[in-house]
């Protein structure tokens, strides 16, 4: 028996309580991490300067600067958590968490980079302060973007499939958002503007996985027969399980490699994407589909009673043929008596009408 044959034997829907318990446990851990961060720092998440405000120093060098040496210069100046981004044309962008920086400190940093890293072109150097107001506007814009994305997903899947399918998909997306935010709070990942793009990418991947599962369920419903809805959904999941895992793991490994080799600029974005991919793949199979089964009401067959002569095939096998024959004869006689009595009553009514 190969791996695909083993998957077809899995009872995923039958263990729905286990999958829900795992998700609730992870979400609970994330919420606890947010509460702890709120008490310690005043923010549930580790927001970067794009949200809290800070200072950005743009520097252009005459040769390619070494970011490791630039980072050392900043650490020596007292800025350990600075973000360094490389740009085209020997440019580097330094983001500091302080809202304002003294002119002396800024000049010292630029002079040390020019001496120890690469000569700095002073005419192309600029210092910009980001106010917290801009950060709040960014938070508002990001929340609106995520809300609109969820509404469009709900509308599309309702039109494409059914409202129950859409509701299960949207709840799975909320699950992904809560899990991802919880893991980011737990690992204290710094969040900046790319975080919003990562979340939109997570929604895209999660919806894509869920739609694949829902589409297979819809296809199997066309040839359902007498199969229970619960069994049909479980069979649909096992049919697309390998495909979903292969697609998600490919992207996950790419994000995982960026976490280690992408530098601080891409690390936070990649970690957000990595947590979201894992959660999205899990929810599309183990959360959305079980929710659909819970909400779907099975249509019970309607029992119809027809007064016909009894059939031998429906009698119990424990009754011998003699008893069966007697039972059939008795039932037949009762039906004949009813027919005779009905005929007599009909004739009497007919005679009474003629007299009148």
Q: pLDDT tens digit string along 46-76?
A: 887 777 778 888 888 888 888 888 888 888 8
Which residues fall within 8 angstroms of residue 17, CB to CB, at 6 or more apart? none
What is the number of alpha carbons within 13 Å of residue 119 lying toward its C-beta?
4
Q: Fill in the DSSP letter of residue 97.
A: S
Assign residue 86 the CATH number of its domain.
3.30.70.3400
Assign residue 209 the CATH number of its domain.
1.20.1640.10
303 in a structural domain: no
Q: What is residue 319's predicted lDDT score, i.e. its pLDDT?
A: 44
Q: What is residue 23's predicted lDDT score, i.e. its pLDDT?
A: 95
Q: Band of the pLDDT at 317, cuts 50, 70, 90?
A: very low
Q: What is residue 175's predicted lDDT score, i.e. its pLDDT?
A: 93
Chosen domain end from 246, 272, 295: 295
C-alpha to C-alpha distance for 6 and 12, rounded to whole angstroms: 12
Q: Are residues 160 and 229 in the same domain?
A: yes
Q: Are residues 254 and 188 in the same domain?
A: yes
Q: What is residue 340's predicted lDDT score, i.e. its pLDDT?
A: 57
β partners of residue 47 = 191
Q: Are residues 234 and 220 in the same domain?
A: yes
Cα 159 to the center of its chain, rounded Å: 19
Q: Are residues 160 and 212 in the same domain?
A: yes
pLDDT > 60? residue 174 = yes
Q: What is residue 330's predicted lDDT score, i.e. its pLDDT?
A: 55
Q: Band of the pLDDT at 333, cuts 50, 70, 90?
A: low
Q: Which candidate, 243, 251, 158, places its Cα nearest to that of 204?
A: 251
Mean pLDDT to the nearest integer, 153-169: 86
Q: Which candidate, 132, 273, 280, places its Cα nearest to that of 213?
A: 280
Chosen domain end from 271, 295, 319: 295
C-alpha to C-alpha distance for 176 and 275, rounded to whole angstroms: 9
pLDDT digits (tens, 9 = 90+) for 260-276: 887 666 788 888 888 99
Q: Are residues 85 and 203 in the same domain?
A: no
Domain carrying residue 111: 54-130
201 in a structural domain: yes
CB 95 within 8 A of CB 56: yes
Full-model pTM: 0.70
327 in a structural domain: no
Cα 36 to the center of its chain, rounded Å: 25
Count of domains forming the chain:
2
Taking the C-alpha atoms of 13, 14, 20 and 25 in order, what is their torsion angle to the nearest 10 degrees? -130
Q: Are residues 86 and 142 in the same domain?
A: no
192 in a structural domain: yes
Largest CA distance in the chain: 131
C-alpha to C-alpha distance for 244 and 281, rounded to whole angstroms: 7
Q: Are residues 99 and 165 in the same domain?
A: no
Q: Are residues 210 and 261 in the same domain?
A: yes
CB 299 within 8 A of CB 221: no
Q: Are residues 178 and 271 in the same domain?
A: yes
Q: Band of the pLDDT at 129, cuts 50, 70, 90?
A: confident
C-alpha to C-alpha distance for 336 and 108, rounded to whole angstroms: 114
Q: What is residue 21's predicted lDDT score, i.e. its pLDDT?
A: 95
Q: What is residue 318's predicted lDDT score, i.e. its pLDDT?
A: 42
Q: Which of 17-31, 163-177, 220-234 has the highest mean pLDDT?
A: 17-31
pLDDT digits (tens, 9 = 90+) for 339-355: 555 555 545 555 555 55
65 in a structural domain: yes
Q: What is residue 192's predicted lDDT score, i.e. its pLDDT?
A: 78
Phi-psi region of 118 (alpha: psi -120 to 50; beta: other; left: phi over 0): beta
Q: Are residues 35 and 82 in the same domain?
A: no
Chosen domain end from 249, 277, 295: 295
The bridge status of strand 54-60 relative to strand 126-130 is antiparallel
Q: Are residues 192 and 227 in the same domain?
A: yes
Q: Are residues 184 and 239 in the same domain?
A: yes
C-alpha to C-alpha distance for 22 and 66, rounded to whole angstroms: 44
C-alpha to C-alpha distance for 159 and 176, rounded to whole angstroms: 23
Number of Cβ atoms within 10 Å of the Cβ of 71 = 18
pLDDT digits (tens, 9 = 90+) for 68-93: 888 888 888 888 778 788 877 788 88
pLDDT digits (tens, 9 = 90+) for 195-242: 888 888 888 888 888 888 988 998 888 888 788 889 999 999 999 998
C-alpha to C-alpha distance for 64 and 89, rounded to whole angstroms: 8
Q: What is residue 302's predicted lDDT score, i.e. its pLDDT?
A: 41
CA distances, 12 to each of 230, 286, 346 (Å): 10, 7, 63
């Amino acid at each position: 028996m190969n791996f695909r044959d083993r998957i077809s034997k899995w009872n995923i829907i039958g263990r729905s309580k286990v999958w829900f318990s795992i998700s609730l446990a992870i979400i609970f851990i994330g919420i606890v991490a947010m509460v702890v961060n709120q008490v310690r720092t005043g923010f549930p998440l580790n927001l970067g300067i794009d949200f809290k405000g800070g200072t950005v120093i743009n520097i252009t060098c005459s040769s390619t600067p070494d970011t490791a040496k630039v980072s050392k210069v900043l650490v020596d100046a007292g800025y350990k958590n600075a973000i360094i981004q490389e740009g085209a044309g020997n440019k580097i962008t330094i983001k500091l968490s302080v809202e304002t920086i003294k002119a002396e400190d800024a000049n010292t940093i630029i002079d040390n980079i020019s001496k120890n890293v690469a000569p700095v072109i002073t005419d192309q150097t600029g210092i910009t302060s980001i106010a917290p107001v801009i950060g709040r506007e960014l938070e508002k814009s990001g929340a609106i973007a995520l809300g609109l994305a969820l509404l469009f997903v709900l509308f599309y899947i309702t039109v494409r499939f059914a409202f129950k399918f859409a509701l299960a998909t949207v709840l799975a997306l909320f699950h992904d958002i809560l899990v991802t935010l919880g893991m980011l709070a737990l690992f204290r990942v710094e969040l900046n503007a790319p975080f919003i793009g990562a979340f939109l990418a997570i929604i895209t991947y999660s919806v894509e996985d869920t739609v694949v599962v829902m589409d297979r369920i819809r296809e199997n419903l066309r040839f359902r027969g007498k199969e229970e809805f619960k069994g049909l959904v479980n069979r649909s999941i096992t049919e697309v399980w390998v495909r979903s895992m292969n697609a998600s793991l490919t992207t996950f490994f790419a994000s995982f490699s960026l976490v280690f080799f992408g530098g601080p600029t891409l690390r936070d974005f990649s970690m957000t994407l990595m947590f979201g991919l894992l959660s999205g793949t899990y929810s599309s199979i183990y959360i959305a589909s079980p929710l659909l089964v819970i909400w779907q009401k099975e249509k019970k067959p309607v029992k119809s009673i027809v007064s016909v002569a009894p059939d031998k095939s429906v009698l119990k096998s424990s009754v011998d043929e003699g008893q069966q024959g007697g039972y059939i004869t008795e039932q037949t006689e009762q039906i004949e008596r009813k027919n005779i009595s009905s005929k007599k009553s009909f004739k009497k009514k007919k005679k009474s009408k003629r007299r009148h």
